[in-house]
Amino acid sequence: MSKQEYTITVYTENQIGLLNRIAILFSRRKINVDSLNTSPSEVEGIHRFTIVINETEDAVRKLARQMEKQVDVLRAFYNSGDEIVWQEMALYKVPTSEIAEKVKVERLLREHGARVVVIRTDYTVFETTGQREETDKLLRVLEPFGLIEFVRSARIAIIKASEGFHALLNEFEVQSSKFEVFDSKSMDETAYP
C-alpha cells in the first residue's frame, strides 16, 4: 500500500493529558503529524481533534482503533482528501511601503480572496483562507515584496458523508437506554410479588 494524506477526526471529552496520550500513539508508530487542530465540537462538552498525516490506509485504520481505546476518546474517523471539505487560514506580513508602491492592493486582494487585517506605517497584514495550494500561491506572490512573516493555521475539516457526530451520539444514547439497569431489590420485588 502506498502512503497518502488522511485527515483523522477524533471526538473527545476535554480532559487534561489527552493530547499527550494521543501524541504518544503517533510517536510510538513513528508517524509524523502534518497538521493538528483542536476545537469545541457541535456537541456541548465534546471537543474535536483534526489531525492530518501521510500514511497507508492500514496504518491509519489501526491508529484510529488505538485512539478509540483511550478512555476519553468517544470516536475516531479517518478520511481521504476527497471525502472531506477543508480549509486553512494564513496571515502574511509585508512592508507597507513595498505593497503601497509596487502592487495594486485592491487587485491583489481580489485575485487571491485576501483581506487586509492590519495596516501600519511599517507593515500590512493580509489574511486569506483556502486550501494549501491557494495560500501557497499568495505566499509566492508576496515573497518578492519583502515578506516579513508568514503563518498558516492547522486544517479544519468537515466530513462530506457524515450526518455529524451529534446524530451518532444521540443514536448511541438511544441504544444504551434500551438496556435498563436493575438493582437487586427491584428485581426481587418483580420476581416475587
For residue 39, pLDDT over 90 is answered with yes
- Nine cell digits for residue 62: 489501526
Structure-block grid coordinates of residue 6:
488522511
Please say if the pLDDT value at position 22 is more than 80: yes
Instruction: Express each pLDDT in 23-33 by its tens digit.
Output: 999 999 999 99
Partners of 179 in the beta sheet?
none
pLDDT(51) > 80: yes
* Alpha-carbon distances of 15 from 21, 47, 52, 106, 114, rounded to whole Å: 11, 9, 21, 45, 36
Which residues make beta-bridge pairs with 71? Answer: none
Instruction: Give, as one character, the DSSP assignment of residue 68.
Output: H
DSSP letter at 159?
E
pLDDT tens digit sequence for 155-180: 999 888 867 666 666 665 555 444 44
Whole-prediction pTM value?
A: 0.78
Return the amino acid letter for 146: G
| 193 band by pLDDT with thresholds 50, 70 and 90 | very low
Concatenated DSSP letters of 2-49: --EEEEEEEEEE--TTHHHHHHHHHHHTT--EEEEEEEE-SSTTEEEE
Query: What residues are paired with 92 via a beta bridge?
Result: 126, 150
475539516: which residue's cell?
157
| Confidence check: pLDDT of 137 > 80 | yes
What are the structural domains, with CATH classification, of the chain? 4-83 (3.30.70.260), 86-152 (3.30.70.1150)
- 152, containing H or E segment: strand 149-152
